[in-house]
Chains A and B, each alone.
Chain A
Amino acid sequence: MTSRTLAVVSAGLGQPSSTRLLADQLAAAARDELAGRGATVELRVVELREHAHDVVNHLLTGFPPAALRRTLDEVAAADGLIAVTPIFNASYNGLFKSFFDVVDRDALAGKPVLLGATGGTARHSLALEHAVRPMFTYLRAATLPTAVFAAPEDWAGDDGDSALRSRIRRAGAELAEQVDRRPPATGPADPFALTTDFADLLAGRDPS
């Protein structure tokens, strides 16, 4: 039985947070689907609110405090990522952007990423497509076709099989399928590894 890890990043600011609620439901859907495919799944939930000061300190000092370092390494080492943000001013919130600004370059390259967002009105839903998805495209992540937006009316009057629930199931299945077809993630790259030797450097040969 293969073992898989999913990182679940929520940029919700309230407690309790509807963003975290959506993140948890997406994670559960992906986990159940992967379990059905015979994998054991470990979820690494990251509440960005708890790392807010560390994220800003990293931006200012250029290095992550120890707790944030561990979180960044967990995200880099995960087989898949679920990233959920509240929509502020027609885009991700600042905390979400700041966190992904300090994620190591290349950490998300090729990694399956399921996008989710919450907002005060369904009119914000395309922010997932015009703001959130392009950032992950830039990071060369493998974003999944279904991105899930939850507005207040999606949470209200849930009859147990709402449109939101079916979208969550579909998105979770897409993430599970992409994780399942990939070999296990290898973890963060070592920034201090020497990838060349002096003869190459002196000859002006590019090690990459």
Chain B
Amino acid sequence: MQFGVFTVGDVTVDPTNGRLPSERERIKAMTAIALKAEEVGLDVFATGEHHNPPFVPSSPTTMLGWIAARTERLLLSTSTTLITTNDPVKIAEDYAMLQHLADGRVDLMMGRGNTGPVYPWFGQDIRNGIPLAIENYDLLHRLWREDVVDWKGRFRTPLQSFTSTPRPLDGVPPFVWHGSIRSPEIAEQAAYYGDGFFANHIFWPKEHTQRMVGLYRERFAHYGHGSPDQAVVGLGGQVFMRRNSQDAVREFRPYFDNAPVYGHGPSLEEFTRETPLTVGSPQQVIDRTLGFREYVGDYQRQLFLMDHAGLPLKTVLEQLDLLGEEVVPVLRKEFDSMRPAHVPDAPTHASLLAARDAAPAAGEQR
């Protein structure tokens, strides 16, 4: 099972001292968090993509390329890549390029983006969100698998004899996850292609996640990719830890109370009850996280949100120490011991390459 962190990349005032980090500071903090993730033994770092303040990460492959050059093992991913407003041709090229530079340590997560005004900045319309996600991804899927593509669709100019460059590393496209909170069409899309499905699992009750993952698993089997419990599932999660749980609650409360998205609304206690947020000791985080599989089944990837709401970098790095030293080793062992042998790990470049080489070559594009 893979464990990691995902970041939204918000620039938010620290509510305890009123300090607002600069964009540079925040960007550098994100890369420091990525390096720390590898140092403490995590598997994945994923960055969001946003084109509106207060968020900074508009250019994910620039950031991930920088991180790739300074890490050895860390898998680089996104949370999410905007499949609606990005040109699928540019996604195909950017991430294939990153694959080569990172020696295959790349996958990505598709998302739609839920901010209406952003769409027209890229020539699109949020009312076409689902059709854009469907058409653009179908083109992206082909661009990575067919050397020469003739294509015509609704949302971009046609392609004639087009080859996206560079070709994917070893002819193996990056593995793709599809993220959605409540759109069954996206679970259907992930199932159709046999791709992974990622549930946000932060800001919403677990029932959302349970329903969406259940639908994805059922449709994954329907499209013949394996049994429902072999579908590839990722979950988000949000934690704040101190050795003493009362210290965690006391320290995190001002960040919670003023956070973007849920701040000034429910109390920390209500939100902890209603959503997967866990604030407490490392043992409490372990117990809560192990409980996730009870409603989604055995799953392949767990990403934690650690760095939003104005938390200072120093605090986030301390959190990563706790996560890497005390929480993840236990989770890894416990999850592995409960998972049946026929449930696969999340695909990696190495496993996809091995699977490709083991399969008969008939009809396969190189």
Chain A contacts to B: CB under 8 angstroms: 56-57, 60-63, 65-66, 191-198, 201-202, 204
Task: Pick the residue among A61, A65, A201 that contacts B188 (CB under 8 A).
Answer: A201
Contact of A197 with B188 in the complex, beta carbons under 8 Å: yes
B192-216 vs A, Cβ < 8 Å mask (1 yes, 0 no)? 1000000000011100100110010
B273-298 vs A, Cβ < 8 Å mask (1 yes, 0 no)? 01000000000000000000000000
Other contacts beyond A192-B182, A204-B135: 14, CB < 8 A: A61-B265, A61-B271, A63-B203, A66-B205, A66-B274, A192-B212, A194-B187, A197-B188, A198-B188, A198-B189, A198-B192, A198-B223, A201-B188, A202-B135
Contact of A65 with B266 in the complex, beta carbons under 8 Å: yes
Asked whether B185 is an interface residue with its Cβ less than 8 Å from the other chain, the reply is: yes
Contact of A62 with B203 in the complex, beta carbons under 8 Å: yes
CA distance A190 to B270 in the complex (A): 25
CA distance A198 to B189 in the complex (A): 7
Contact of B184 with A192 in the complex, beta carbons under 8 Å: yes
CB within 8 Å for A201 and B130 given contacts A57-B270, A191-B182, A196-B188: yes
CA distance A141 to B323 in the complex (A): 52
When C-beta atoms are compared, the residue in chain B nearest to A203 turns out to be: B134
CB-defined contacts of B208 to chain A, threshold 8 Å: 63, 192
Chain B contacts to A: CB under 8 angstroms: 130-131, 134-135, 138, 154, 182, 184-185, 187-189, 191-192, 203-205, 208, 211-212, 215, 219, 223, 261-262, 264-266, 270-271, 274
CA distance A194 to B135 in the complex (A): 19
Task: Pick the residue among A56, A192, A201, A202 that contacts B265 (CB under 8 A).
Answer: A56
Taking the closest CB of chain B, its distance from the CB of A17, in whole angstroms, is 26
Task: Pick the residue among A62, A63, A196 that contacts B185 (CB under 8 A).
Answer: A196
CB-defined contacts of B270 to chain A, threshold 8 Å: 57, 65
CA distance A60 to B259 in the complex (A): 11
Give 17 A-B contacts (CB < 8 Å), ordered by A residue: A61-B271, A63-B203, A63-B204, A63-B208, A63-B274, A66-B274, A191-B182, A192-B184, A194-B215, A194-B219, A196-B185, A198-B189, A198-B223, A201-B134, A201-B185, A201-B189, A204-B134
CA distance A197 to B274 in the complex (A): 31
CB-defined contacts of B204 to chain A, threshold 8 Å: 62-63
Tally the A-B contacts, defined by beta carbons under 8 Å: 62
- Label chain B's interface by main secondary structure: helix
Contact of B184 with A193 in the complex, beta carbons under 8 Å: yes
CB-defined contacts of B188 to chain A, threshold 8 Å: 194, 196-198, 201
CB-defined contacts of A202 to chain B, threshold 8 Å: 134-135, 138
When C-beta atoms are compared, the residue in chain B nearest to A190 turns out to be: B211
CA distance A193 to B212 in the complex (A): 9
Taking the closest CB of chain B, its distance from the CB of A48, in whole angstroms, is 18
CB-defined contacts of A198 to chain B, threshold 8 Å: 188-189, 191-192, 223
CA distance A60 to B266 in the complex (A): 9
CB-defined contacts of B130 to chain A, threshold 8 Å: 201
CA distance A202 to B134 in the complex (A): 6
Contact of B184 with A57 in the complex, beta carbons under 8 Å: no
Contact of A57 with B138 in the complex, beta carbons under 8 Å: no
Instruction: Indicate the member of B203, B264, B274 with the most A CB atoms within 10 Å.
Output: B274
Taking the closest CB of chain B, its distance from the CB of A51, in whole angstroms, is 13
When C-beta atoms are compared, the residue in chain B nearest to A193 turns out to be: B184
Instruction: Indicate the member of B189, B261, B266 with the most A CB atoms within 10 Å.
Output: B266
When C-beta atoms are compared, the residue in chain A nearest to B262 turns out to be: A61
When C-beta atoms are compared, the residue in chain A nearest to B204 turns out to be: A63
CB-defined contacts of A201 to chain B, threshold 8 Å: 130-131, 134, 185, 188-189
CB-defined contacts of B223 to chain A, threshold 8 Å: 198
CA distance A16 to B317 in the complex (A): 54
Contact of A57 with B265 in the complex, beta carbons under 8 Å: yes
Closest 10 CB pairs of A and B: A60-B265, A198-B192, A192-B211, A194-B184, A57-B266, A57-B265, A201-B134, A61-B262, A61-B265, A198-B188
Contact of A194 with B138 in the complex, beta carbons under 8 Å: no
When C-beta atoms are compared, the residue in chain A nearest to B261 turns out to be: A61
CA distance A77 to B122 in the complex (A): 42
